[in-house]
Amino acid sequence: MKNLFSRHPLFIVLLPIFYVLNTLNLYFPLLRADDFYNSASLLILGIHVVILVIFIARPRYSRYALLLLYLSIVYLFFGSILASCKKVLPFLAHFKFILPFQALCALIIFMILKRSKKNSFPVAFLYLNLLLVIFNVIEAGRVLIKNNLWLTNQLSSKVTSDPVLTTAICDTCVKPDVYFIVFDGYAGQRSLQEYWDFSNNSMDTFFRKEGFFYARNSSSNYNFTPFSLGSILNMDYHQHPPSTNDLQEFCRGTGSISQSKVIELLISNGYSIVNNSCFPLPLHDAALDINFTANPTSTLLSQTLPARFSKDVLWNFGMGTSDFIERRLPLSKLHLQQIFKAEEQLLHASATEQQGPAFVYTHFLLPHDPYFFDSTGQRTPDSLWFRTEGDKAYYLSQLKYCNTLIKKMVHQIKHTGARPRVIILVSDHGYRALEKVDPKQYQYNNLFAIYYPDGEYSAMYDHISTVNTFPLLFNKYFKAKIPLQKDSTIFSYHDVQKLW
C-alpha cells in the first residue's frame, strides 16, 4: 500500500472526489447523496481518471502531476480561494489581479518541475495521497450521516427535551386546522404608502371585514427567504445570521427549515402536515420544485472557476441579451409552473377533510420577480420577465394581482370544511430592489394578517415581527408558555447573483 501511494499520483482522482463530497455537504439539502452520480461530477471524475492513467502509463511525466494538482485546485475551488482572499488579502480578490497571479504561480511551478531531474516525488505523493484519503473518509461520513437522518425521517429531540416547548403539547385542547400561507416579497402597508404612494386600503378593508388581525407596521426578521422562514418555523433567531444571500447560505437557511420546531410540535399534537412549498420540513419533503433557483448540476459547479467567472464577470455583460434570456427562460417557466401548482394544491387541501387537525404550508413565489402577471392576472410577455426585474411599477402591478389571489384563497379556506381554521398570511420580507433610499428602510416591512376563528386578538400588536407568529398561536390554542422574542431585524448583504 505504501509503495502504491508513494509511486502514483492518486491525488489526481482523490481531489475531485473530495470536491464533490464537500460540495454535497455544503449544499445539503439542496444536494443529496445521489447527486454524486450527477453527469457533471462524473465528467470531472472521468477526465481526472484518464489523466491518472496517462501518468501511470508514462511514469516520466509523473512529476507534472503536482502542476495538475495545483491547476485542479484553482479550477475546482476558485470560489473558496476568492472568498479567502477577500478576508485575508482583499487587494487580491479581484479577477484582474487573482487570475494573473494564479497563472504566474502555475508558470513558476512548471519551470521548477521542468528543471527537476526527478520523474516523481515519492514523499510528496505519499503525503498528498494519504491526506486526501483522510479528507474523503471524513466528507463521505458527513454525507452518509446527513442523508441517513434525512432518509430515515428522524425527528430531533430539541422539542421533547425542552421544558418550555413541551408546554405546547396538549391532549385536551381544541386544535384548529392551521393554514400558513407565504407570499414571497410582499411589501407591507407602510412601505407601499411611502415608497409607491399606494394605500392598499382595499386589503385593509377586506381583512377587517373578514375578521382578521392586520398589522400595518409588521416586519420580517431577515431579508433573505430561507433565514426568515427558518426563524418563523423555529420561533427563534438564527445563532449564526447570514452574511450574504449566496447559495451556500441559502442551503444553510433551508437546513433550519428542515429541522423546524414548529412542525415537530404540531406532529406531537397529532397534526397531519401538508407541505405545499419548495422547502423541506421534518418528515415531509417539498411538494414544489426548487430547481428553478439552482439545479443540481449548476450547484455542483457553482464554485468552479468558469462558474464564478460567468457569475461575477460575464453576468454583468449578459443581462438583457437574447442569449441571457434564452438561458433563463426555461427556469422562469418552471418558476411560473410552481405558482400555478401552489394555488391548485392549496385549493385541493382546503376542500379535503382531514381525519384530524391539519397544518397546510403554502409558499407563493409572488409578488417576487420575475413579474409574470399584470394587475388583472393576465400573463405578461416572456420578453419582459428579465427586463423588468426590480421595476417598481411592474412589482406593484403583480402585487395587485396577489391581492386578488389572497381574497380568493381566504374565501375558499374560510367557507369550506367543518373544522375551525386559523389562517396566517405573511411575507418573508418586503421589497428589496430599492432606489435612492436606505435599503434597510423597507426591506422588512411585510404582510402580516392572521385569522382566529374566535376573533380574539388581545395578544397581537401592530409592530409584530414574524418570529413571534407561532409562539402567539401555541400560547393561545395549546395553553403553552412560550416567551416572545424581541422584535428585531437582521440585514444580509446581497451577493451579485440574487436568490430570494
HEC sequence for the chain: CHHHHHHCCCHHHHHHHHHHHHHHHHCCCCCCHHHHHCHHHHHHHHHHHHHHHHHHHCHHHHHHHHHHHHHHHHHHCHHHHHHHHHHHCHHHCCHHHHHHHHHHHHHHHHHHHHHCCCCCCHHHHHHHHHHHHHHHHHHHHHHHHHHHHHHCCCCCCCCCCCCCHHHHCCCCCCCCEEEEEEECCCECHHHHHHHHCCCCHHHHHHHHHCCCEECCCCECCECCHHHHHHHHHHCCCCCCCCCECCHHHHHHHHHHHCCCHHHHHHHHCCCEEEEECCCCECCECCCCCCCCCCCHHHHHCCCCHHHHHHHHHHHHHHCCCHHHHHHHHHHHHHHHHHHHHHHHHHHHHHHCCCCCCEEEEEEECCCCCCCCECCCCCECCHHHCCCCCCCHHHHHHHHHHHHHHHHHHHHHHHCCCCCCEEEEEECCCCCCCCCCCCHHHHCCEECEEEECCCCCCCCCCCCCEHHHHHHHHHHHHCCCCCCCCCCCCECCECCCCCCC
Residue of 488, 445, 30 lying closest to 236 (CA atoms): 488
Contact yes or no for 188/434 (Cβ under 8 A): no
Residue 249's contacts (CB-CB under 8 Å, 6 or more residues apart) are 224, 226, 227, 242, 243, 492
Residue with cell 507534472: 64
Residue 237: per-residue pLDDT = 95
- Residues 340/344/347/349 CA torsion (nearest 10 deg): -130
Whether the CA torsion 254, 234, 459, 221 is positive or negative: it is negative
Angle at 217 between CA 214 and CA 220, to 5 degrees: 95
- Cβ–Cβ < 8 Å for 222, 489: yes
Distance CA 145, CA 157 (A): 17
Alpha carbons within 13 angstroms on the beta-carbon side of residue 126 total 8
Which residue from 365, 219, 215 is spatially nearest to 292, judged by alpha carbons?
365
Contact between residue 231 and residue 466 where contact means Cβ atoms under 8 Å apart = yes
Residue 253 to residue 485: CA distance in whole angstroms? 19
Q: What is the pLDDT of residue 499?
A: 45
Which amino acid belongs to residue 201?
N
Task: Name the residue among 413, 287, 420 with its Cα closest to residue 357.
Answer: 420
Residue located via cell numbers 430515515: 152
Scan for cell 428585531, then name that residue: 488
Cell numbers describing residue 61: 511525466
Evaluate the omega torsion of the peptide bond into residue 453 and state whether it is cis, within 30 degrees of 0. no
Contact 424, 183 (CB under 8 A): no
The DSSP bridge pattern shows strands 358-364 and 272-276 to be: parallel
Burial class (CB within 10 angstroms; exposed 0-12, middle 13-18, buried 19+) of 494? middle
Question: CB–CB of 267/309 below 8 Å?
Answer: no
Domains defined along the chain, listed by start: 2-151 (no CATH), 165-477 (3.40.720.10)
Residue whose C-alpha cell is 516523481: 120
User: Peptide bond before 370: cis, by omega within 30 degrees of 0?
Assistant: yes
Q: Which three cell numbers stand for residue 276?
A: 405545499
| pLDDT at res. 316 | 60
User: Who contacts 301 (Cβ-Cβ below 8 Å, separation ≥6)?
Assistant: 40, 307
Spell out, as residue ranges, where the chain has pLDDT lower than 50.
319-322, 495-499
Sheet harboring 421-426: ordered strands across? 213-214, 448-451, 421-426, 177-183, 358-364, 272-276
